[in-house]
Amino acid sequence: MAEPALSKTDFGAAGLAVRLRAVTKIYDNGVTALGPLDLEVAKGEFVSLLGPSGCGKSTALRLIAGLAAPSAGTVEVSHRASKADGRHPIGFVFQEPTLMPWASVRENVRLPLKLAHATTAEADRRIDDALAQVGLAEFAGAYPRELSGGMKMRVSLARALVTDPDILLLDEPFAALDEITRFRLNNDLLDLWRTLNKTVIFVTHSVFESVYLSQRVIVMTARPGRLAREFRITAPEPRGEEFRTSAEYAAHCREVSAALAPSYFGQRGA
C-alpha cells in the first residue's frame, strides 16, 4: 500500500485540523471515486460527510487517515509536536467494530499503545481512562464475541480514543446498530466530543444522524464524490432528545434531504 501523503506543515496558526485541496482518487481499475474535493475542517469542529453509498466519503476518510494516497491534490493533517507515550494524532473507527477476536477488550484497546511501544504503566492508565470514557470499565476482561453490537462499537471507540488523538475519523460507525442503541451512542459521542475537545469527521448516509450530531454537514454528490452543498447546523449545545424532536431539527433535516436528493436521482438516472 502507498505511503501516507501527509504534509508535515503546521497550519495550526490557521486553526485548521484537516485541509484537502483538489483531492482526487482514481482506483487502479480506472474508476474515479472521489473529487476533485476541497475541504477544510477547523480544530475542534464536528463535521459530517453525507452522501449516497459509493460516493467516496469513506475514501475521503481513508485519505485523511493516510491509509491511501490521493491520485491528485494534497491532504494536510495537523500534527502535534510529540508522539511520545503512545500518542497518535488520528483515531479511526470503522463501520464494523474491527476487533481482534483472540484478544480481550483490554488487549484490543491496548493495541495502538503496544504498537507505539508505550510503557505498561502508562498504557494501563490510558486504557482504564478510555474504557471509563465509553462506559465499559467492567467489561475489560470480556472477549469481543461476548459483547453486543453496541458494546463492540464502544470498544472500537475506546481504542480510537486511547492514543488521545486530535482528530477522530468515524466511518459510518453506527450504521449496523438498532435505533435505540444508535441514539444512545450518538449522545455518548456528543458528550465525548464536548468534554475531550476533539476534531471529529463523521461519515454517514443518514440525514438525521448528520444533522443531530454535527456543526457542519457536507452533502456529497454521487460517484465521483464532490461537494454538493454544505449546511451549518447552529442549534445550541448541548443537544439532546429535546433537539431531536424539535421543529428546528425537522426543518434542518428537510433542507439537507432536499440537497441530498439529486445525488440519488443522479445515481438512478445513470
Partner 1 sequence: MSSFQNIGRMLLPIAVLAAGLALWELVVRINDIPPYVLPSPYVVLQTLVADWPVLSESLGVTLLTTLEGFIAAAIGGIALALLFNQSKWLEHSLFPYAVILQVTPVIAIAPLLLIYLPQQTAVIVCAWIVGFFPVLSNTTLGLNSVDRNLAGLFQLYGASRLQTLRYLKLPAALPYILGGLRIAGGLSLIGAVVAEIAAGTAGAGSGLAFRIAESGYRLNIPRMFAALLLLSVAGIVIYALLALVSHLVLRRWHESALGKEN
- According to the binding rule CB under 8 A, does residue 176 interact with partner 1? no
Residue numbers 210-269 binding partner 1 by CB under 8 A: none
Give me the half-sphere count of Cα atoms (radius 13 Å) on the Cβ side of residue 120: 0
Residues 6+ apart with CB under 8 A from 246: 235
- According to the binding rule CB under 8 A, does residue 152 interact with partner 1? no
- According to the binding rule CB under 8 A, does residue 103 interact with partner 1? yes
d(CA 206, CA 64): 21
- According to the binding rule CB under 8 A, does residue 8 interact with partner 1? no
Which of 29, 102, 234, 245 is close enough to bind partner 1 by CB under 8 A? 102
Burial class (CB in 10 A: 0-12, 13-18, 19+), 11: middle
- According to the binding rule CB under 8 A, does residue 182 interact with partner 1? no
Which of 32, 98, 206, 257 is close enough to bind partner 1 by CB under 8 A? 98
Residues in the interface with partner 1 (CB under 8 A) total: 24
Which of 19, 25, 87, 88 is close enough to bind partner 1 by CB under 8 A? 88
Residues 6+ apart with CB under 8 A from 94: 156, 171, 173
Instruction: Fill in the per-residue mask, 125 to 144: x = in contact with partner 1 (CB under 8 A), - = not in contact.
Output: ------------------xx
Minimum CB distance to partner 1 smaller for 36 or for 89: 89
Render 155-180 in DSSP notation, one character per residue. HHHHHHHTT--SEEEEESTTTTS-HH
- According to the binding rule CB under 8 A, does residue 175 interact with partner 1? no
Which of 111, 140, 176, 227 is close enough to bind partner 1 by CB under 8 A? 111
Q: What is the CA radius of gyration of the chain?
A: 18
CB of 108 to partner 1, least distance (A): 10
> Can you list the positions of beta strands (E) in the chain?
6-7, 16-26, 32-42, 46-50, 72-77, 90-93, 167-171, 199-204, 216-220, 227-232
d(CA 240, CA 175): 20
Which region among 33-41, 94-102, 122-130, 259-267 touches partner 1 (by CB under 8 A)? 94-102
d(CA 250, CA 252): 5
Which of 35, 51, 56, 66 is close enough to bind partner 1 by CB under 8 A? 66
> What are 189's three cell numbers?
459521542
Which of 10, 15, 31, 114 is close enough to bind partner 1 by CB under 8 A? 114
CB of 57 to partner 1, least distance (A): 16
Residue type, 247: A
CB of 149 to partner 1, least distance (A): 15
For binding to partner 1 (CB under 8 A), which residues are involved? 1, 62, 65-67, 88, 90, 92, 94, 96, 98, 100-103, 111-112, 114-116, 143-145, 163
